């Protein structure tokens, strides 16, 4: 029988339940809101392999987080499918006592290649980022000229392999809001949940301004011109997306409203960067270096105490406090580094 974790809550009484693990800082896209190619050019120096956490180190840290209350994992990047032998890591993580759910976020370009091995390793859920169906627009957004048909093909192949797919769309004013209805129609017909994400000021390189944000309410109004929607209850405390379904029962949609309707008060999520720093907020300026502790010989008890101390000192509520000025002046870790 699994023993229940010792209670661990932060200064705002939020428990820890979710851990996002970045397995690489590399990506094969150069999306304008995440890794703009003007900054992340072909000569950009990513981390050498020796700086990345090994699978043994990731598994050990995950065991510690599970002992403190984490039940859900999500593997991110960069683009996580660029990490060699990723299914091997997933298979190990599924066996950790206390872990009940593992997801993966990907741009989908390599998903067709790895879908079956991911499923065989124990992965069941994948979130695929896709911001437009118009080929020219999507090619411009991803910075590589990749056509959306390649991502759609990977999605369908992954579904056939037995993976549950959810699609994420970042909506930016003046860029792709005209794609809201085409995307909704396309994935509604296929019974795939589509989640609309408000454009966020993650990092300092994406030119964020409030004027570029299309809010949940604005997206909802656009959808309401064609569809009837009804709200759904949250699955669990700390669920990020606000969930709705089409009244005809065909599928669901979701909204991630970090800008217009912040959800800091129920945030149960920690983040582990690919070189082993622990971050307690997506908009954090710095993290706690677990890798240095690991590689200097700290034992599991010492690491557990360190993680507990970091979480119990947590008071992050950036989205509650966001202003145009903080977005411009606060130094924040890039999304490609911390995992979105």
Q: Report pLDDT for 1.
A: 46
Q: Report pLDDT for 261.
A: 86
Is the separation of the CB atoms in 223 and 246 below 8 Å?
no
Closest listed residue to residue 196, CA positions, set 174, 227, 223, 175:
223
What CA–CA distances, in Å, run from 155 to 114, 118, 127, 195, 297? 12, 13, 10, 15, 43
Q: Measured between alpha carbons, how far is 246 from 242 in angstroms, rounded to an integer?
A: 14
Q: Report pLDDT for 319.
A: 79
Q: Measured between alpha carbons, how far is 40 from 46 in angstroms, rounded to an integer?
A: 9
Is the separation of the CB atoms in 155 and 167 below 8 Å?
yes
Q: Report pLDDT for 234.
A: 86
Answering whether pTM is above 0.85, one says yes
Is the separation of the CB atoms in 10 and 313 below 8 Å?
yes
Q: Report pLDDT for 336.
A: 64
Q: Measured between alpha carbons, how far is 72 from 319 in angstroms, rounded to an integer?
A: 22
Q: Where are the beta strands (DSSP E) in 100-223?
A: 101-106, 125-129, 164-171, 193-198
Give average pLDDT by consecutive 10-residue segment, the chain, 340 residues: 66 96 93 83 88 97 97 96 98 97 97 98 97 97 95 98 97 96 97 94 66 94 97 85 92 92 90 95 89 97 97 87 59 64
Q: Report pLDDT for 164.
A: 97
Q: Report pLDDT for 91.
A: 98
Q: Measured between alpha carbons, how far is 58 from 291 in angstroms, rounded to an integer?
A: 10
């Amino acid at each position: 029988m699994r023993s229940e974790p010792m209670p661990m809550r932060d200064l705002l009484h939020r428990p820890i339940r979710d851990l996002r693990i970045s397995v690489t800082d590399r990506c094969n896209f150069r999306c304008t809101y995440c890794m703009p190619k003007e900054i992340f050019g072909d000569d950009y120096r990513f981390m050498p392999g020796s700086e990345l956490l090994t699978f043994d180190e990731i598994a050990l840290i995950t065991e510690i987080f599970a002992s403190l209350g984490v039940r859900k994992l999500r593997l991110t990047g960069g683009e996580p499918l660029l990490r060699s032998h990723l299914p091997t890591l997933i298979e190990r993580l599924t066996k950790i006592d206390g872990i009940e759910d593992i997801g993966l976020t990907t741009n989908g370009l390599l998903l067709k290649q790895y879908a079956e091995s991911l499923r065989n390793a124990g992965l069941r859920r994948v979130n695929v980022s896709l911001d437009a169906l118009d080929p020219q627009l999507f090619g411009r957004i991803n910075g590589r000229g990749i056509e959306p048909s390649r991502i759609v093909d990977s999605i369908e192949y992954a579904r056939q392999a037995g993976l549950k797919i959810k699609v994420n769309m970042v909506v930016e004013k003046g860029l792709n809001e005209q794609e809201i209805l085409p995307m909704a129609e396309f994935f509604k017909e296929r019974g795939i949940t589509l989640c609309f994400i408000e454009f966020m000021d993650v990092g300092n390189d994406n030119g964020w301004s409030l004027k570029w944000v299309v809010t949940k309410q604005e997206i909802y109004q656009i959808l309401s011109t064609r569809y009837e929607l009804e709200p759904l209850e949250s699955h669990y405390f700390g669920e990020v997306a606000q969930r709705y379904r089409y009244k005809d029962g065909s599928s669901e949609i979701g909204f991630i409203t970090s800008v217009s309707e912040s959800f800091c008060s129920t945030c149960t999520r920690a983040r582990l960067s690919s070189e082993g720093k622990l971050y307690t907020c997506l908009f954090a300026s710095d993290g706690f270096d677990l890798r240095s502790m690991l590689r200097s010989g700290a034992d599991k008890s010492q690491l557990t105490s360190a993680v507990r101390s970091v979480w119990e000192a947590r008071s992050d509520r950036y989205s509650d406090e966001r202003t145009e000025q903080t977005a411009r002046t606060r130094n924040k870790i890039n999304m490609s580094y911390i995992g979105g």
